[in-house]
Amino acid sequence: MKIVSYNVNGVRAAMNKGLVDWLIKEDPDVVCLQEIKALEEQVDVSKFESIGFKYNYWFSATKKGYSGVAILSKNKPIHVEYGTGISYMDFEGRNIRLDFKDFSVMSLYLPSGTNLDRLEFKLNYMDDFIEYVKKLNTKIENLIIAGDYNICHKAIDIHDPIRNKNVSGFLPVEREWLQKFIDSGFIDSFRQFNLNPNKYSWWTYRANARANNKGWRIDYIMVSYSMKNNLKYADILSDVVHSDHCPITIELKK
């Protein structure tokens, strides 16, 4: 069982850059997309269906061309949950979850804190979201939350921790929240297999950052601790270029 998570920064743009062909080669079972920037009717979903993703679910933002998440699956889920019920957030299309027999997978797109208003919005949502997840954990034993968390966890996860210490995405309050989130019962799947520095999932388009690997690791596949023994593999696919992010992946033992 292979799961991919990918902030595509516009699913239609990514499709024009070869996303579908790449999915054929990668051959995942489930794909969590973030920042789709489209309504379902604006996407040629038949291209995904033709390569095996017969079940695809879209949760777009009310604002056109903004945010939005989706999950593509080769297997039919038991249940689909759109949003979280956190009303001030759901209109931005930031959470969708598929429940299967043995596990559930959520595609998550946490907001960025690009200015003071959005930072406050982000911090409020983070607090409400972690409470939501704690309740969810009492109902769902094996939960996978994949997506763009817009937070670097530790200094190893960012190319310049000193200069970025006061930048949203690496603020102490954000990093503490992410540790609290992990401590609530999750595993950072990538760090189970790779403790090396200089592994990132996002690069600004400015100053040739990607070519120089001046990046941030802000995309995660968090897996319930109950699934620790099911983890087979995890990686960051930094050579895949359809977006300013790159895809991340895990494989689970059956």
Boundaries of every domain in the chain: 2-252
Point out the catalytic residue in the list 44, 102, 148, 235: 148
Query: Quick one: pLDDT at residue 115?
Result: 86
CATH architecture of 2-252: 4-Layer Sandwich (3.60)
Query: Would strands 30-34 and 2-7 be described as parallel, antiparallel, or unpaired?
Result: parallel
Query: Quick one: pLDDT at residue 175?
Result: 98
What's the token pair of residue 250? 């895990």
SS3 category, 11: helix
In angstroms, rounded to a whole number, what is the distance separating the alpha carbons of residues 225 and 63? 36
Q: Beta partners for 57?
A: 71
What's the token pair of residue 71? 């999950």
SS3 category, 137: helix
Clarify whether 102 is annotated catalytic: no
Residue 45: CB atoms within 10 A of its CB come to 16
What's the token pair of residue 124? 């409020």
Kind and range of the H or E run holding 33: strand 30-34
Helices (H), the chain: 11-16, 19-26, 46-49, 87-90, 116-139, 172-183, 189-193
Query: Quick one: pLDDT at residue 97?
Result: 98
Kind and range of the H or E run holding 117: helix 116-139
Query: Quick one: pLDDT at residue 201?
Result: 98
Q: How confident is the chain (254 residues) per 10-residue block, as mean pLDDT?
A: 98 98 98 98 98 98 95 98 94 97 97 90 96 95 97 98 96 98 98 97 96 98 97 98 98 91
**How far does CA 88 lie from the centroid of its chain?**
20
